[in-house]
Amino acid sequence: MIESPSSNPLLTGASTVPSAQPCTLVIFGGSGDLSRRKLLPAVYNLALDGVLPTNFAVVGFAKNDFSDEAYRSFARDGIAHFSRRPLDEAHWPEFERSLFFVPGSFDDPACYEALKRRLAEVEPQFGIPGNRVFYLSIPPSLIGTCVEHLHKAGLINPEGRGPFSRIIVEKPVGRDLTSARQINAKILDVFDEKQVYRIDHYLGKETVQSLLVVRFGNSIFEPLWNQKYIDHVQITVAEEEGVGTRAGYYEEAGALRDMVQNHILQLLCVTAMEPPWSMEADVVRDHKLGVLNCLRPITGRDVDKSVVRAQYGPGFHNGEGVPGYRREIGVDPNSTTETYVALKLFVDNWRWAGVPFYIRTGKRMPKRASEIAVQFKAVPEILFNANPSTPLEPNVLALRIQPDEGLSLKIATKRPGPKLRIWPVRMDFRYDTTYGDQTPEAYERLLLDVMAGDATLFMRRDAVEISWKWIQNILDAWDHSGTRWLPEYPAGTWGPVEADRMIQSDDREWRTL
């Protein structure tokens, strides 16, 4: 082996997980809900797993007037409540020593100078060579301002020159095509695309990553993964909760923007993409982009046929009465924001020609459940499937994203006994029972990837803008329709009858989860 000053042979090959590099994680909106519930617990679990770099610190940056001590207390509370691992008192003092807070307004240049001074104090203390990850856990409308001030304060190094500067942008990037383009342009005025990590935490989930392995690591699925053998695909992302405390954001967003434009289209991409020729970030992302490019636009009157939107009305959640959406705190009583959307869409390429993808997502559904279900075509109507009144149930490969991450395959079997009776059985694989150990949270994997400089699971600018372009057709049609009332579904049910009718008109049914 040749000694090289630019590499570290002691870390090369030392671990199968990405090797995170020494850095400071600066969280804009560091005192917010995402920080408390997800980001700080994720960092804590990475520390417990021993995969954080030794030279590492977190600096929260937000309007609150927190001291370092108050921020540590805030972090402790979040970790105690939301970490997948219990808080370890023995480890806590060392962990909290690496947490700092800088109070400040995102639009005040002086606050960025204060942040800069604080980083200059913290980094030498921890032996951090100036590498920085800026996590923008803030509304999309503030992204441009923050990026501009970061640049003006000299907090960002150009790509490839000196210590790295990376930025993580939370979804949704914008609220329509125009704003997404504006935000991306502002970010790319300052950062190189290689420094930008547009996060969609769904892509950090094990099942989503596992789907690529299921498809391309097994010889039995890929030959069937096309219009010859697949009848249709259903993607469901169901939320049990109502709008809660997010009415301000949600009224502006709605289910289409909040879930479909990012999470669900990304799930669709992983399901429908062609085999990438390597797992390099840009190769995988190019192949996902290929799917988005093939999405058949839904425009004009087709929107009414292929898209159903609705709001939850009053109903029950876990046996308790809950109000309808328009009665929620902070929601306009005449709101036309959709809390549920179902779509039928097509990927117009050779592989998927004529195969419908049914998508649904909503709030206040009976349970929290997300899955991708691939339903195969029925066997010919002869032999075991000869009786039209009792057709055989089709094979379904279902990938559960949450909860109980795993996959199942439904197949037909003969029930034991003298008579020929066919019974569908489910072969089930669950991560927790099979692999035993706890699955890391998506944010853990994604934060580690950013520190290691691996962008495979993050969205590129072109993918964001193409997905917005496709969504924009639907948004435009809705805007032109002048709707003042949306169909309702009772809280605690699987959606409006209109969505049932949409899929039933194709002689298909929504899956019961």
Partner 1 sequence: MSSIPLGPKEITLPSQPVDLAAIEHALSKLWKQPDPQAPEHALLTRACMSNLIVFCTNQDQADLITQELDEIVLFHPSRVLLLIGDTHKSPPRIEAFVSALCHLAGNHGQVCSEHVTISATGNAVQRLPSTARSLLIGDLPTSLWWVSHEAPSLGGDLFSELEEMADQVVYSSLGWTEPARDIIATARWAVEAEATDTLIADLAWRRLKPWRSLIGQSLDPAAVPRALETITEVAIEYGQRGLPQTWLLLGWLASRLGWQPIGVAHRRGDEWRWTFQALDRTVEARTRLIPDGDPEVRSVAVSWKVEKATATMTVASHGPGKLGMCYQGVDAQPRLLVAPNQSRATLIGLRLKNRERDPIFDTALQVARHLAESSSSA
Catalytic residue IDs: 263
Binding status of residue 89 toward partner 1 by CB under 8 A: no
Binding status of residue 13 toward partner 1 by CB under 8 A: yes
Distance CA 273, CA 227 (A): 13
Candidate ranges 126-134, 144-152, 277-285, 478-486; the one touching partner 1 (CB under 8 A): 126-134
Compute φ and ψ for 156, nearest 5 degrees: -120, 130
State the minimum distance, in angstroms, from the CB of residue 422 to partner 1. Answer: 24
Binding status of residue 387 toward partner 1 by CB under 8 A: no
Compute φ and ψ for 204, nearest 5 degrees: -90, -5
Candidate ranges 374-382, 412-420, 427-435, 495-503; the one touching partner 1 (CB under 8 A): 427-435
Whether the CA torsion 434, 240, 315, 493 is positive or negative: it is: negative
Name which of residues 148 to 177 contact partner 1 (CB under 8 A).
163
Binding status of residue 509 toward partner 1 by CB under 8 A: no
State the minimum distance, in angstroms, from the CB of residue 433 to partner 1. Answer: 5
Which among 40, 7, 21, 12 is positioned nearest to 448, based on CA atoms? 21
Half-sphere exposure of 502 (CA within 13 A, CB side): 24
CA angle 76, 404, 283 (to 5 degrees): 90
Instruction: Using the minimum distance from each CB to partner 1, give the nearer residue, 21 or 473.
Output: 21
Which among 179, 243, 168 is positioned nearest to 201, based on CA atoms? 168
Q: From residue 309, how far is each of 196, 256, 414, 415, 495 by CA, in Å?
A: 33, 9, 42, 42, 9
Binding status of residue 427 toward partner 1 by CB under 8 A: no
List the structure tokens of 5: 């000053």
CB 373 within 8 A of CB 349: no
Which among 336, 333, 355, 334 is positioned nearest to 346, based on CA atoms? 355
Out of 1, 382, 383, 420, name the contact with partner 1 by CB under 8 A. Answer: 1
Candidate ranges 264-272, 341-349, 432-440, 465-473; the one touching partner 1 (CB under 8 A): 432-440
Out of 65, 69, 77, 88, name the contact with partner 1 by CB under 8 A. Answer: 88
Binding status of residue 3 toward partner 1 by CB under 8 A: yes
Name which of residues 43 to 62 contact partner 1 (CB under 8 A).
47-51, 53-55
State the minimum distance, in angstroms, from the CB of residue 512 to partner 1. Answer: 18
Binding status of residue 21 toward partner 1 by CB under 8 A: yes
User: Which residues form the interface with partner 1 (CB under 8 A)?
Assistant: 1-17, 21-22, 47-51, 53-55, 85, 88, 90-91, 94, 124-127, 129, 131, 163, 404, 430, 432-438, 440
